Structure 1
Amino acid sequence: MKKEIDELLRRKENAKLGGGEEKIKRLHDGGFYTARERIDKLVDKDTFLEFGMLAHSDQVGSEDKSAGDGIITGLAKVDGRPVVVMAIDKTVFAGTAGMIHARKAQEIHRYALKRGLPLFRLSEGGGLRMPDGMGSDGISQSLFPEEMLLHRRQVPMMTAILGDSFGDPAWVAVSSDFISQKKGTAMAVAGPRILEMATGEKVSNEELGGWELHAHITGQSDHFSETEDESIEELKRFFSYMPLNETEEPPFKPSNDDPYRRLDEIVDLVPSRRAQVYDMKKVIKSIVDDGEYFEIRALYGPALLTVLARINGRVVGIIANQPMKYGGSKGPHEADKATEFICLCDSYHIPMIFLHDTPGFRVSRDAEKYKMPTKILQWNQALAQSTVPKISVVIRKSIGAAYANMCGPTMGADFVVAWPGAEINFTGPEVGVNVVYGRKLKESDNPEEERARLLETWEFDSSPYKAAAKYLLEDIIDPRDTRRFLSQTLEFACVKNGSKSKRQLANWPTQF
C-alpha cells in the first residue's frame, strides 16, 4: 500500500497549507496567526484529531484551491479536558463560508451536543460565500442551522474574534457563552463595503463593529485583548470555570486558602459613610479563594460587577454593585448584564452570590428610552426562575426595587444576611425625607434641625435589625466572617443536588 499511503500523505500535506504559502506569508506579515497555529495555541500538545481535512468546495473549478473549504474542525483536549474545536482559515476564500464549510461546522457541532463536548471557535471571515449562497437554491441551504438556534446551553460555547467577522462568524459569536475580541477587529452583520453598496453609508470597520462599540454600547463581546494569544488564553480561563456539559457541575479546585479565613482587612476596605466610594473588586478579592476571580464584561454596565470565582474550591458566580461607578446605581446596561449572567450561572450549575451596595436604579429620560421597566422586570424574572443556590449579603445599602433585583427576600435566595451598618429601605434618607416631609420642612421654624431629626429617624428605620427582628433576614453577620459564612452556607445549600439547577433559563437568549 506504499503508493496509496504516499498519495494520502501528499494530499494531507497540501491541505495543511490551506490557501497556499503565499497567503500564509501574507497573514504572518500582517501579524496574524494561521488557523492551525491558533489551534496549537489553544489545545494541549499532540491532542488535536482533525476531521474533514480532505474536504473542499463543491463549486466546479474550486477543488484545488479550497482545502478544508476554509474551516478546520476536530476534537482535542484543553487543560486535559475533551473539547470540540473549529477554526476558520482565512487563507481559503478569505474565510468565507461555502456549503462544505457549513456542513463541516454543523456536523462537528452536532457531535459536540451528542457527546457533551464544549465548543471552542476561533473566528474571523466574511460570512456566506457569494457563489455558494446565490440563487433560491443557494440561500435555501444557507439559513441558520438548527443546532445553533436550538443549542440551549447544552455545552459551553466559547468564541474568539481574531479578525474581522461579518455574517456567519458574528452569528456564531453572539450565540456563544463567552466572546473574547481582539482589539483592531470588527464584528457586525455585514462589512463596510456591503453597507455602502446597500445604503450609501460610509463607515470604517471600527465604527461599524469595533471593540469600543461592543465594550461600552452593545455589550456583545465579554473581553477585549491586545493580542491573539491573550484572547485564546481568556477562552481557556473562562473554560476553567465551566462544566463539560449540562449534566455536570463545574470543576472543583482544591485550595490551601482556609475557607474560614477571617477577613480583618475588610473593615478598612468598606467605609461606613454612605457617600464615600470604594472598590468592590477589593472586597471580592478578599473573599474568594486565593484572591483569584474572572470578570466578565468589565467595561459594559460598569456599576455592576459579574465575576466567576471559587469559594472553598467550588465555582461561584458573583453579582456585586460597584460604588466607584455611578455610586453603584444600575441602568439599562447593568440590567442586561445581570440577566445574561444569571442565565449563564443557572444553566451551568454555578451558585450565585450577591453583594449589595446600591442606592437603586438610575432614573432618567435616557433610561426610559432603553425600556428600563422591561429590563428591571426581565432581570427579576430571570432571578425568580433560577434554581441554583443563591446567597445574598447586604454590604452597605440596598435601596428600593434594586433590593429585589439583588436577590433580596422573596426572590428565592437560600439566605439573605446583612452587615451591621447596612441600610435597607424604599428610598435613601435624603430623598425620602424631602419627598415625604417636604411641606413640613418648609413650614418648620428650624428646618435644618427638623431635617436632622427626620434623617435620624429614617436611618433607624433603615437599620437591618428591624428586618432581622421579623426574621426577614436570616442573620446580621460580622463583616470579618463573610468568607466563613459563605463557605458554610454553600456547603449546606449543595447537599441534596450539589449545585445543580433545573436549567429553566437554558433556553433564554445568550444576548439581551
Structure 2
Amino acid sequence: MTINIETDVLAGTLLEGPMQERRDRLAALPIKEPRDLSARNRAVALCDSGAFNEIMAMRNGYRSEARGATTPLPSDGVAIGWGLIHGRPTAIASHDFAVAGGSIGSVFADKVVRLQRFAIDNGMPIIYINDSGGARIHEGIEALDGCGRIFAQNVRAKKRVPQISVIMGPCAGAAAYSPALTDWTIMVSGQGRLFLTGPEVVKAATGEDVDPEDLGGAGLHTRDSGVAHLEVADEREALRSVIGLLSFLPQQRGGELPLQAPREPERSVQELADLIPAASHVAFDVRHVLSCIVDGGTTFELSAKFSPSVVTGFARLNGVPIGIVASQPRRRGGILDAKAAQKVARFVRFCGRFGVPITTWVDVPGFIPGAVEERRAVITHGADMLDAYADADAPRLTVIMRKAYGGAYIAMGSRSLGADFTWAWPQSEIAVMGPEGAVGILNRRELAAADDPRAVRTALAAQYRAEVTHPFRAVDAGIVDDVIQPEQTRAALTAALQGLGLGLH
C-alpha cells in the first residue's frame, strides 16, 4: 500500500517527534485567498514547534516608479531561513506572491543564493516553496543574472544535499527551471503550475488558446511530462508530503540514513505465495507484494502516474530507509518503455548519490518494441537506466519475482550492473526472451512443418522453460545468489542490509 500522509506521517507511525503539534498547527493556520497560507506560514508549518529562523528578513528590494520615485518590496518577495524538521536542520526558501507576484529580482536572488550556499556548506537539505511569476521584467538583465546564479547553485547543491521543490502557484519562465534542477517536485492540484511560457504568451506567439492546467498543471506534469513527481490536493498536504519525504533521506551526501524502530509489515509474508499467480502471463499488483515485505506495509511512492508499469518510491526495511524500483505487472504487464527507463534512471541516480539502498523487484517481459518507442529514444533512455544502476554508490539488492527477459533483465538492477545480492523466486524465468518467442525463432522450421503447430509450440515452450529459463541455471552461473521462497524474502533482505552495515543487529 502507499503512504497516507495524514494518517501515517502525522499520526507518528512513520515519524517521531512533535507530529500532533504540527498537525494542530497546520489545521489552525489562517486561510488566505486565493492561496491557503502566506509565504512565512508555509515555512513555519514545516518546522518542528513552528520555529522558522528567518535570515535577511530586512533586506528589501525596490521598484523604480515615475520621476525617480521608488517603491519598497518587503524582503524582495522571498523569505529564507532554516528550521528543524524531525529534529534535523533544514534550509527553506519561500516565495511571497503578495510581493511583486513573487517575481525574481536581483535582491531576491542574492537571498536565495545565500541560503543555498549556507545549506551546502552546513549539510542541510533545501526546501523551495515556489510561487513566482518568473524573472522581474523591470529589472532586466539583473533579474536574468539572478536567475542564472540560483540555477548554478541548484546544480552545485544537487551533488551535496537533497533538494525538494513545492509548486504552490504559477511558476513561469525562469521560475520553472529551478524546480526542474532539484531532486523532487511536489505540485498542488489546481493551484501549482509550471510552464516556460504562460497562456497569454502562447496566444500572442502562436494564436493558440490553451488552458493553464493543460499547459502546466499538476496533472500534466505528474502524468505526461514527468517534470513533477507528486500531485497533492492542497497546500497542507504538500507540506506534509515534504515532511514525509525528508524522513527517508540523509542530511547530505555521505550522511547517515535516518533509522527508525523496525515494524512488522502490514500483511504476513505467508500471504506472498497466494499473491503471485503461477502463470507468468497473469497480472498481479506489486504493491500488495511490497505490503508483505516493508515495515508497516507502506511505500512513499513517487511518479506514480508517470509510466505506471514500474513503481518507484521509498519505504523502510527493519527500520532502514530503502529505495524501491518494482515492475508493476498490473500495468501493461510491467513492460518497460522510454518513459519508464527515464523514471527509473532518475530515481536510481538519486538513491545512488545519497547512499539509499536500492531494492529492485523484477517481473519484466522486456522493452516495448516498435517505431514509436524508437522515435522516443528508448535506446538512449534505456542506456541511461543502465548507467544509473552501474554507477550507483549505494547497496543494490535485487529480487527476481517472475519474468526477467532480455535487455530489460539487465537494466533492472542485475548482477551484471553491480547488484550486491540477487535472489530469485522458484517460479522465475531468466532468459534472452520468453519461451513462446524463443521457440518461434529456434524451431520455426519444425513449427512450419507440424500438423498441429499450436500443440508443438506448447510442448517446445515447456521444454525451453525447463531447460533454459529456470533460476537454478542462473545460480549455477553465479549470476543469482540463491533461489528462495517468497516468504523468505524479508528475512533475506534484512540480513543482507545488516551484512552491509545497515540496520539493527
Q: TM-score, normalised by structure 2?
A: 0.89
Identity %: 28
User: For the pair shown, which has the larger CA radius of gyration, 1 or 2?
Assistant: 1
8 A contact 1:262–1:484 mirrored in 2: no
Deviates more, 1:294-303 or 1:61-70: 61-70
SS at match of 1:344: helix
- 2:58 corresponds to: 54
Alpha-carbon deviation of 1:190?
A: 2.4
Paired letter, 1:376: G
- 2:41 corresponds to: 37
The aligned runs of 1:5-404 (5 Å cut-off) are 28-60=32-64, 64-133=71-140, 139-140=144-145, 142-145=147-150, 146-184=152-190, 185-257=192-264, 263-404=269-410
Cα gap change, 1:138 to 1:316, in 2 (>3 Å): closer
Per-residue Cα deviation, 1:159-199 (whole angstroms, up to 9, x for no partner): 11011111233112111111110111310112222233344
Cα distance in 1 between the residues matched to 2:342 and 2:70: 46
SS at match of 2:457: helix
Alpha-carbon deviation of 1:375?
A: 1.1
Cα gap change, 1:28 to 1:353, in 2 (>3 Å): same
Paired letter, 2:417: M
- 1:439 corresponds to: 445
Cα gap change, 1:37 to 1:393, in 2 (>3 Å): same
8 A contact 2:268–2:292 mirrored in 1: no
Cα distance in 1 between the residues matched to 2:244 and 2:389: 26
Alpha-carbon deviation of 1:51?
A: 1.2
Paired letter, 2:223: H
> May I ask how many residue pairs the two structures share in their alignment?
469
Alpha-carbon deviation of 1:449?
A: 3.1
Deviates more, 1:226-235 or 1:197-206: 197-206
Alpha-carbon deviation of 1:144?
A: 4.1
8 A contact 2:265–2:291 mirrored in 1: no
Alpha-carbon deviation of 1:64?
A: 4.8
- 1:475 corresponds to: 482
8 A contact 2:263–2:319 mirrored in 1: no
Alpha-carbon deviation of 1:483?
A: 0.3
8 A contact 1:249–1:350 mirrored in 2: no
Alpha-carbon deviation of 1:151?
A: 2.3
8 A contact 1:122–1:160 mirrored in 2: yes
The runs of at least 4 aligned residues of structure 1 exceeding 4 Å deviation read 61-65, 137-142
8 A contact 1:302–1:325 mirrored in 2: yes
- 2:472 corresponds to: 465
Cα distance in 1 between the residues matched to 2:454 and 2:226: 45
- 1:419 corresponds to: 425
SS at match of 2:131: strand
Paired letter, 2:120: L
Paired letter, 1:202: D
Q: TM-score, normalised by structure 1?
A: 0.87
Alpha-carbon deviation of 1:143?
A: 2.9
8 A contact 1:183–1:211 mirrored in 2: yes
Cα distance in 2 between the residues matched to 1:267 and 1:114: 49
Q: Which runs of 5+ in 1 are unaligned?
A: 1-24, 499-512
Paired letter, 2:164: M
Per-residue Cα deviation, 1:52-88 (whole angstroms, up to 9, x for no partner): 2212114445765411111011111112211111110
Bigger RCO (CA 8 Å, 6+ sep): 1
Alpha-carbon deviation of 1:470?
A: 3.0
Paired letter, 2:40: R
Per-residue Cα deviation, 1:234-269 (whole angstroms, up to 9, x for no partner): 11111100111113022011124389x971111111
Cα distance in 1 between the residues matched to 2:285 and 2:147: 48
Cα distance in 2 between the residues matched to 1:250 and 1:89: 33
Alpha-carbon deviation of 1:202?
A: 2.9
8 A contact 2:314–2:323 mirrored in 1: yes
8 A contact 1:58–1:99 mirrored in 2: no
8 A contact 1:57–1:63 mirrored in 2: no
487, 493, 504: which one pairs with 2:500?
493
SS at match of 1:471: coil
436, 455, 458: which one pairs with 1:430?
436
Cα gap change, 1:256 to 1:174, in 2 (>3 Å): same
Cα gap change, 1:247 to 1:68, in 2 (>3 Å): same
Cα distance in 1 between the residues matched to 2:376 and 2:265: 44
Cα distance in 1 between the residues matched to 2:169 and 2:444: 58
- 1:455 corresponds to: 461
Paired letter, 1:35: A
Cα gap change, 1:363 to 1:380, in 2 (>3 Å): same
Cα gap change, 1:56 to 1:197, in 2 (>3 Å): farther
Cα distance in 2 between the residues matched to 1:199 and 1:55: 40
Deviates more, 1:164-173 or 1:114-123: 164-173
